[in-house]
Structure 1
Amino acid sequence: MDKNIIDGCRNNDPKSQEKLYRQFYPAMFALCKCFFSDNHDILTAVNNGMLKVFRNMDKYDPARGDLFNWAYTTVRNAALTLIRDKKTKLTFELNENNSDAAVNNPFKQLEWKDIYFYLDQLPTNTRYVCSLYYLEGFSIKEIADLIDMKEGTVKWQLNECRTRLKEIFDRYTIRNKNIG
């Protein structure tokens, strides 16, 4: 990272801030697209996160790590805050028939464009949990704490994610076989 851009951002120089924003925008947009299907929500999360990056640039310490990683974490946390702010309260609870199935990442063989396509097929809360668990690597307990949800509900959402994704994968596999 260009030290002049970092120094400029620390001094609230709009041109430096724009250069940093443009440099990080593709990755931050991709990150937030994992959590939201609506472009307005994606842009809100990216912009809120980058605003926090600019406001807290004096707290960034190059000796502790790369600026990109620090900004990525800041934008991810802004997305999680937006999720918490938008979250609807769920009225169901995990019952004994909804066990936490073996953890197999359904996205491991897919390209990002395909991952986004399949995530867009999921309900909002299921999408949040799925993205945090499979794409960001958070534990069930961490997810529960991050989005203020019971651990049992997180497990239910993961089970729902796997069930729905299996149906979606099967539907598109059959459709593609019929086309080919």
Structure 2
Amino acid sequence: MGRQKQPVRNHSHLDNLDTILAGCRRRNRQSQEKLYRRFYPALFSLCRNFFGQEHDALTALNNGMLRVFQHVNQYDPQKGEFFNWMYTIVRNAALTLLRDRKTQCFEYEEIDDLMGFESPENPLDALTAGDIQVYLMQLPVATRRICGLFYLDGFSVKEISDALGIREGTVKWHLSESRTRLKPILEKALR
């Protein structure tokens, strides 16, 4: 009989991520770059929902990734997926940058709570992640930001209001505006 083939070790996505994270814990620059590059598309897309300018989205992403690298030792796999942990840190970095810049530019026109926005229906449910990004980019920046926080990240109206430092009525108006603007686009796309 001939020589038996050695089983090929399957380097799964997780094994590779564990190796990269181990390098990041040692503050290895190559590992940090690999982690950054691996998740850049998803995280940049997240940050792009918050800002009209690519530069601002990139600043938020870089601020968030710096925090990820500084606190990578605090990640506990028992508490959830690494991507979710990192996503939360980057999203919070984007919210912090928004709050810091709020005094520089007033993107939100405060609206009194007369609308009573109540809709359990998520207009984005029938779409893929890629489609969602395409449609969200058609909304004005402030509306896109609130729509993403509410429908994609699951923030409540009050949480969005607190995070962005705006009235709940303003959040509700932007949610209503997003539904109004997206409805004809989605109806056409889903035919």
Q: Distance in 1 between matches of 2:183 and 2:118?
A: 13
User: How many correspondences in the alignment?
Assistant: 173
Mapped to 2, the partners of 1:104 and 1:60 lie a distance apart of 34
Gaps of 5+ in 2: 1-13
CA RMSD, 1 decimal: 2.5
TM-score, reference length from structure 2: 0.77
Distance 2:79 2:107 in 1: 38
Question: Structure 1 13/116 Cα, relative in aligned 2: closer, same or farther at 3 Å?
Answer: same
1:135 aligns with 2:152: yes
**Other-structure match for 1:165:** 182
State the Cα distance separating 1:168 from its structure 2 match. 4.6
Share of identical aligned residues, percent?
Answer: 52
Distance 1:102 1:41, change over 3 A: same
Larger Rg: 2
Contact 2:25-2:73 within 8 A present in 1 as well: yes
One-letter amino acid of the counterpart of residue 59, structure 1: Q
Contact 1:94 1:155 in 2 (8 A): no
Distance in 1 (alpha carbons) for counterparts of 2:52 and 2:131: 13
Q: Which stretches of structure 1, 4 residues or more, deviate above 6 A after TM superposition?
A: none
TM-score (norm 1): 0.81
What pairs with 1:1-180 in structure 2 (closer than 5 Å)? 1=14, 2-87=17-102, 88=106, 90-96=108-114, 98-169=115-186, 173=188
- Structure 1: unaligned runs, 5 residues or longer: none
Question: Given residue 161 of structure 1, which amino acid in structure 2 is its aligned partner?
Answer: S
Q: Contact 1:122–1:161 (CA<8 Å) still a contact in 2?
A: yes
